[in-house]
Amino acid sequence: MRYRESRQERQKKIERAKELLKETPPEKNDVLAMIIAAFIVFLPVLIIILAFLILIIGFLFLW
């Protein structure tokens, strides 16, 4: 069982990704869509983490 890919395989994947990017470059609206998607994904996680930290601080120092 192999856990890692060889350097040659990794290099082939990188070259293939570069070729695909040259064939279909990102459009102007793609950047905005990626930013909106990042906010949709990361914002709930950040809210949960901040709420957890506020609860810990509240329990330690306020009660």
Its domain, for residue 29, covers 7-62
Residue 55 has pLDDT above 90, yes or no: yes
Better-predicted residue by pLDDT, 31 or 57: 57
Residue 42 has pLDDT above 70, yes or no: yes
| 50 domain-assigned | yes
Query: What is residue 2's predicted lDDT score, i.e. its pLDDT?
Result: 63
- Structural domains counted in the chain: 1
Better-predicted residue by pLDDT, 24 or 39: 39
The H-assigned helical ranges of 2-61 are 7-23, 28-57
**What would the mean pLDDT of 12-29 be, rounded to a whole number?**
87
Give 57's Cβ-side CA count (13 Å radius).
6
Confidence of residue 4 (pLDDT cuts 50, 70, 90): confident
| 22 domain-assigned | yes
Name the one residue in this structure whose structure tokens are 């293939």: 16
Query: What is residue 1's predicted lDDT score, i.e. its pLDDT?
Result: 53
Which residue, among 11, 36, 61, has the nearest Cα to 53 in the 3D structure?
61
